[in-house]
């Protein structure tokens, strides 16, 4: 139970002496390390914005990788993140509580992938002096493998891949010509999914660690990526959903916070989309609506009065189920 662990923290003299802000920082580290909670859930737990929570975790990861033994490390990290140096010093002091608080370990790679951006990870690598390709290993608490520097894969393997690509193109053309019945298409799809899975793992290994940097998400015929120039378009989609359902932003949640959390949800949705869930546009929009719905429902429950923020009609976004698909 989370409250039991919180009570344990409260029994520590070093924790009891902290300011409210510093206690929230340590609590956020605990919720990530012990429970693997996403940023949106931590926001609900401690009452801070997603941006602030991300900065705390970026600081904690950076200091952990740096060793966190010197004051100059704290100053370097807090200056880069524009957070109070006192918060950074408290994070450094609590890192020795490794199993409970230090954000390094086998399960942390997945948490980082789903909750931090490529920009966050680039900053961690820069602050900690870690090569970007080594970062996943270091976050897992592993020693990166030695570099062999092969110039290119064996020619035999490249030729085999070219043959496989030719087969896939043939399947594609045959499917377009309606050469397969539904059973045949399902078999092709199953093999295609296997290829997609290993291809994504290969991209992760190469260093294309975040699908939001390379994945294009089509909306109404237009592609959206996280790169500059598409952010406003994505924000418009989020705002359209908000207006359609007559939502009002709860206290403490900015439009930027909402958009950031929606990005996390969309990336998770794309990982689960395997072609069997219908059109990808509908699938992504559906998950966006669920994320926004969930965000507002949590705020409503916390305030204990529906009349201040939502009506019953506002909570329902056209679907009774809150399942993610």
Helix axes 108-115, 255-272, angle to 10 degrees: 120
Instruction: List the structure tokens of 274.
Output: 């395997």
Residue 265: band (very low, low, confident or very high) from pLDDT cuts 50, 70, 90: low
Considering the entire predicted model, what is its pTM?
Answer: 0.55
Contact 213, 118 (CB under 8 A): yes
Instruction: List the structure tokens of 237.
Output: 């989609």
What does the DSSP 8-state code read for residue 213?
Answer: G
Q: Give the dihedral sign, CA 62/67/68/74.
A: negative
Residues 6+ apart with CB under 8 A from 226: 117, 118, 210, 212, 213, 263
Structure confidence at residue 97 (pLDDT): 84
Indicate the domain borders of the chain: 2-139, 155-209, 213-315
Q: Which residues does residue 222 pair with via DSSP β-bridges, in sequence order?
A: 219
Report the half-sphere exposure of 313 (CA within 13 A, side-chain side).
4
Distance CA 19, CA 30 (A): 17
CATH number of 213-315: 1.10.1740
Angle (CA) 254-259-264 rounded to 5° is: 130
Say which residue, 234 or 260, is predicted with more confidence: 260
Structure confidence at residue 19 (pLDDT): 92
Phi, psi dihedrals of residue 116, rounded to the nearest 5°: -110, 155
Burial class (CB in 10 A: 0-12, 13-18, 19+), 283: buried
Average pLDDT taken over every residue of the chain: 74
Residue 43: band (very low, low, confident or very high) from pLDDT cuts 50, 70, 90: confident
Say which residue, 108 or 13, is predicted with more confidence: 108
């Amino acid at each position: 139970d989370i409250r039991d662990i919180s009570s344990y923290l409260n029994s520590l003299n070093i924790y009891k002496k902290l300011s409210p802000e510093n206690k929230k920082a340590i609590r956020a580290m605990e919720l990530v390390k012990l429970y693997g909670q996403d940023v949106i859930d931590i926001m609900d737990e401690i009452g801070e914005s997603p941006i602030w929570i991300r900065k705390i975790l970026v600081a904690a990861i950076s200091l952990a990788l740096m060793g966190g033994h010197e004051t100059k490390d704290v100053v370097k990290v807090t200056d880069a993140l524009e957070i109070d140096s006192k918060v950074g010093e408290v994070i450094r002091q609590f890192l020795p509580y490794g199993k409970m608080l230090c954000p390094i370990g086998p399960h942390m790679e997945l948490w980082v992938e789903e909750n931090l951006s490529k920009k966050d990870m680039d900053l961690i690598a820069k602050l900690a002096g870690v090569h970007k390709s080594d970062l996943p290993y270091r976050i897992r608490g592993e020693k990166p493998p030695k570099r062999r520097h092969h110039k290119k894969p064996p020619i035999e393997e490249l030729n085999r891949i070219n043959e496989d690509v030719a087969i896939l193109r043939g399947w594609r053309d045959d499917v377009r010509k309606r050469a397969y019945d539904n059973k045949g298409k399902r078999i092709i799809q199953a093999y295609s999914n296997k290829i997609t899975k290993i291809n994504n793992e290969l991209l992760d290994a190469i260093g294309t660690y975040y699908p939001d940097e390379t994945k294009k998400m089509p909306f109404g015929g237009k592609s959206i990526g996280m790169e500059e120039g598409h952010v406003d378009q994505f924000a418009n989609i989020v705002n359209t959903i908000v207006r359609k359902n007559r939502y009002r932003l709860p206290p403490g949640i900015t439009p930027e916070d909402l958009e950031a959390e929606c990005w996390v949800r969309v990336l998770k949705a794309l990982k689960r989309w395997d072609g069997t869930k219908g059109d990808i546009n509908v699938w992504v929009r559906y998950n966006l609506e669920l994320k926004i719905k969930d965000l507002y429902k949590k705020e409503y429950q916390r305030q204990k009065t529906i009349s201040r923020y939502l009506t019953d009609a506002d909570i329902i976004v056209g679907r009774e189920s809150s399942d993610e698909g």
